[in-house]
Amino acid sequence: NAGVMQNPRHLVRRRGQEARLRCSPMKGHSHVYWYRQLPEEGLKFMVYLQKENIIDESGMPKERFSAEFPKEGPSILRIQQVVRGDSAAYFCASSLPEISGSYEQYFGPGTRLTVT
Amino acid sequence: GDSVTQMEGPVTLSEEAFLTINCTYTATGYPSLFWYVQYPGEGLQLLLKATKADDKGSNKGFEATYRKETTSFHLEKGSVQVSDSAVYFCALIINQAGTALIFGKGTTLSVSS
């Protein structure tokens, strides 16, 4: 059973370009979460999605950032017009539906974004 | 608001030493508690968890007990190995909400032979 998959693992963008980060959840998982880890800090929640729905985006910056989880295909975190401060590791996690009673989130290997 | 506080690192130990990493939390609801481990250049792996007061989570020789009276979830291991060198994150999730994990800042552990 494959774990959470993220690609690319490393992404380099120049200031002003767009970054697209992809996440495929574990099989059977319908909930996806995105977290950002800045250097020397813990992970900060950005957004929580279910298929075709954004449930909680309270941690997402108001501008330039967006996320989706379409009916088919991976979840996408999109950062437009990247700036140096966007350089970080972005982690995706997935979990079973809440009805399962399990709150465990399983993390992918992360995408390390570097903005030059 | 809800938060997690971990002891600051780095923690430097010799092989076979006893490990304690302190973690305390503040929660408005009734949380589940987790320890995650991050090896260099990798994502987070769930190390252990506890979902209610007095539960003890354990895995790979690591243990942590959910103490509601002291709002703590300290991580312990009786004899560390070089391979345990990593960053350890304490985290909580509010069961009712079931959404975002709230993480501490992480504690770096370095074990030398």
Instruction: Give the integer Cα–Cα distance in Å for A57 and A55.
Output: 7
- Across the interface, do B43 and A105 touch by the CB < 8 Å criterion? no
**Alpha-carbon gap, residue B113 to B99, rounded angstroms:** 40
**What was the pLDDT predicted at B22?**
97
Can you name the residues that pair with B26 across neighbouring β-strands? B3
B37 in reach of chain A (CB within 8 A): no
Residue B106 touches partner A, C-beta closer than 8 Å:
yes
Mean pLDDT of B18-38: 93
Per-residue pLDDT tens over the stretch B59-101? 999 999 999 999 999 999 999 999 999 999 999 988 665 578 9
Looking at the complex, does the CB of residue B104 fall below 8 Å from at least one CB of chain A?
A: yes
pLDDT band, very low/low/confident/very high, at A28 (cuts 50, 70, 90): confident
Q: Does B94 touch chain A (CB under 8 A)?
A: no
User: What distances in angstroms separate CA A32 from CA A91, A97, A110, B68, one per listed residue?
Assistant: 10, 10, 13, 29
Nearest to A91 among B43, B93, B102 (CB): B43
A41–B106: do the CB atoms touch at under 8 Å?
yes
Condensed to tens digits (0 to 9), the pLDDT of residues B15-26 reads: 999 999 999 999
pLDDT confidence band for A99 (50 / 70 / 90): low
Q: Would you call B1 an interface residue with chain A, using a CB distance cutoff of 8 Å?
A: no
pLDDT level of residue A116 (50, 70, 90 thresholds): very high
In angstroms, rounded to a whole number, what is the distance separating the alpha carbons of residues A6 and B45? 15
Inter-residue long-range contacts of A24-28, CB under 8 Å, 24+ positions, other chains counted? A24/A74, A24/A75, A25/A75, A25/A92, A25/A94, A26/A1, A26/A2, A26/A94, A26/A106, A27/A1, A27/A2, A28/A96
Once rounded to an integer, what is the mean pLDDT over residues A47-63? 92
pLDDT of residue A98: 66
- Asked if A48 lies within 8 A of B100 by C-beta distance, the reply is yes
3-state secondary structure at position B27:
coil
Predicted pLDDT at A102: 66
Q: What is the pLDDT of residue B8?
A: 84
Q: Across chain B, what does the average pLDDT equal?
A: 92
**Given an 8 Å threshold on Cβ–Cβ distance, is B49 in contact with A104?**
yes
State the pLDDT at residue B98. Answer: 55
Q: What is the pLDDT of residues A56-89, one digit of tens each?
A: 999 999 999 999 999 999 999 999 999 999 999 9
| Three-class SS state of A86 | helix
Chain A residues near residue B46 by CB distance under 8 angstroms:
104-106
CB of B61 within 8 A of CB of B52? no
The C-alpha of A82 sits at a distance from chain B's nearest C-alpha, in angstroms, of 23
The answer to whether A105 contacts B99, with C-beta atoms less than 8 Å apart, is: no
Give the containing element (helix H, strand E) for A13: strand A10-13
